[in-house]
Chains A and B, each alone.
Chain A
Amino acid sequence: MQKKLDRKYFLFMLPAILMVVGLRFFPIGNAFRMAFFNWNGYSPNMKFIGFDNFKKALSDEYFWIALRNTLIYAFGITIVKNVLGLALAFFVDQKFHGRAAIRATIYLPVMISGFIMGQIMYYFYQYDGGILNEILSWFNIEPVYWMKTGLSSTFVVLLTTSFLHCGSTMLLYLAGLQNIPHELLESARLDGASSWKEKLHITIPLLQPSMITSVVLNLIASFKIYDIISSLSKGGPDGGSTSLTLYISQQYFNYNKAGYAAGIAMWFFFVIIIISVPINKWLSSKKVEY
């Protein structure tokens, strides 16, 4: 009886399994296979070239720029989002009128397409007639070329993304704050801990589970950054702020180097795994006890 039921349960899971295998696992395998070929993406002749695509990436200057930027984005956005999100969570965790409205306002940009937010923010950083430079001009300050170099564009994208999307991190920490047993904070207060000390020595260590979730999720998500770059800096100037996702899509769709794009994609996947897995393991091994 139970066995028969188990088979039925399996059938119930089958559509999900088929979709995940067919549309998630299969593409990974196919991309891996493509990485071994010299192929433009549509012609019937694919030439097997072994590991050449992998090797070629290592001597491609723009691959290294894209990799460097992707790492800056991943770690930078994770750090800035967590600091901002934690600060905002402490702020909106207090009782005051309109805190629900403030919470909703901070979360609003998370709901809007990253491409669109990037497009709007582009007009803030424009050199000529940009909003930030216009404000500077009120104080007679020379306009700043915000996205002059690759690195400055990278930081513009990093800070903009973190600012716009820290609402999700804020909610994670808010959930953590609401989970902390009240007696703990009460007893700290009775012992005379000031509000800052209380936050630093008691609340923040107790938020560790939220912090782990937040760091891991943000890290994995920020590795994949694409939407906001594609409208805010478009990867420029001269590929200086490009991310790996952007670079791979350009290689595939603009230059018809499908095999090479797949090769970079495999490096990309490899980098994500060797960074995320140990961090995830290390963080999960730390447990808090109330």
Chain B
Amino acid sequence: MKNTEFKPKKHKKVRWWIPVICIVIFFMYIWPFYELIIMSIKDITDISSSKMWLSQGAHWENYLAVIKKSDIWIGFKNSIIYTGATIFLEITFASMAGYSLSRGSKKTTRTVRAVQMALLMVPGIITLVGTYSLMVNLGLTNSLLALAFLTAAGGIPGCSFIYMNFINSIPRQLDEAARIDGAGLFTTFFRVILPQLTPLTVTRAIMIGIGAWNNYLLPLYLLNDSRKRTIILVIRSAFSINGGDRDIAMACATCTIGILPVIVVYLLLQKKIIASQIGSSVKG
């Protein structure tokens, strides 16, 4: 007879390939960023030397030159306004909608879910094609706020669904208790319900913020004024302005500074971001 005694597998076996794969993965994914930095500290007249490493000294003064130009600061300012407005609009309206979806009748919930799924399939280019001429006529191109409304509207269906899922787990008694105390719906929601969801709101805000910060298609066509450019558009013009290879170093320095905020936010909050990505896909 076979021995059926339970013996947990020992995990002591030396798995030499794990660190090897780790190192390979690490270098492959860091490589593009390494190249960006190497290219950004080359001499601006040096266009032919190897991109893999520095052949001469590091020219950190490229960064100084970028910081001294106003472009990058205009880009940061606009990106912050646009990103902040998008986060505010999307979170406020989506959480409100999520609340009424959760507390209202279930029939609407099903309709809204179908609508959300359908809207997911609409490519962003249709939004652009369908709104561009109107935005021009209404004088809303070059308006960061109008762009924020447009961006937030794209995220509202999905975001309100996530809020609905979370609010479902908050007992209705809490609403009723607040109502007995004389609070209206508005106060009940913003003072009692929404504060319960702060962790969700924080992670949603981060994800919406990063999405808006990186948004490219809509800002590219809706913000033509160089004073209204977001940081991504500033980086884009740094890469294309002189054409050819002439100012790669400057463009790369602009690019490095431009993505720094996202990288810092990511490094600080990566645990939260990754956990929320895993969590939201389970709730799905």
B281 A19 Cβ-Cβ under 8 A: no
A249 B128 Cβ-Cβ under 8 A: yes
Residues in chain B near residue A273, CB distance under 8 A: 121
Chain A's closest residue to B150 (CB) is A23
Candidates A19, A41, A249; contact of B149 at CB < 8 Å? A19
Alpha-carbon separation in the docked complex, A69 to B63 (Å):
39
Residues in chain B near residue A19, CB distance under 8 A: 89, 93, 149, 152-153, 156
- Cβ-based interface call for B44 (8 A): no
Candidates A16, A88, A130, A223; contact of B96 at CB < 8 Å? A16
How many A residues have CB within 8 A of the partner chain?
Answer: 94
- Cβ-based interface call for B35 (8 A): yes
Given A19-B93, A123-B51: A10 and B123 within 8 A (CB)?
A: no
> Which of B24-32, B54-62, B65-73 participates in binding chain A?
B24-32
Candidates B30, B121, B279; contact of A220 at CB < 8 Å? B121
The contact size tier of chain B is: 35 or more
Alpha-carbon separation in the docked complex, A96 to B21 (Å):
12
Given A12-B189, A108-B29: A253 and B214 within 8 A (CB)?
A: no
B281 A172 Cβ-Cβ under 8 A: yes
- Cβ-based interface call for A56 (8 A): no
A27 B32 Cβ-Cβ under 8 A: no
> Which of A140-148, A151-159, A174-182, A200-208 participates in binding chain B?
A174-182
Given A10-B100, A190-B6: A112 and B262 within 8 A (CB)?
A: yes
Chain A residues close to B by CB (< 8 Å):
5-6, 8-10, 12-13, 15-17, 19-20, 22-24, 26-31, 34, 41-42, 88, 91, 94-96, 98, 100-109, 111-117, 119-121, 123-124, 129-131, 134-135, 163, 168, 171-172, 174-176, 178-179, 189-190, 210, 213, 220, 223-224, 226-227, 230-231, 244-245, 248-249, 252-253, 258, 261-262, 265, 268-269, 272-273, 276-277, 280
Q: Which 4 A-B pairs have the closest CB atoms?
A: A27-B130, A23-B153, A16-B97, A31-B130
Chain B residues close to A by CB (< 8 Å):
6, 9, 11, 15, 18-19, 21-22, 25-26, 28-30, 32-33, 35-36, 39, 48, 50-52, 89, 92-94, 96-97, 99-101, 103-105, 115, 117, 119-134, 136, 149-150, 152-154, 156-157, 160, 185, 189, 210, 213-214, 216-217, 221, 232, 235-236, 239, 255, 258-259, 262-263, 266, 270-271, 273-274, 277-279, 281-282, 284
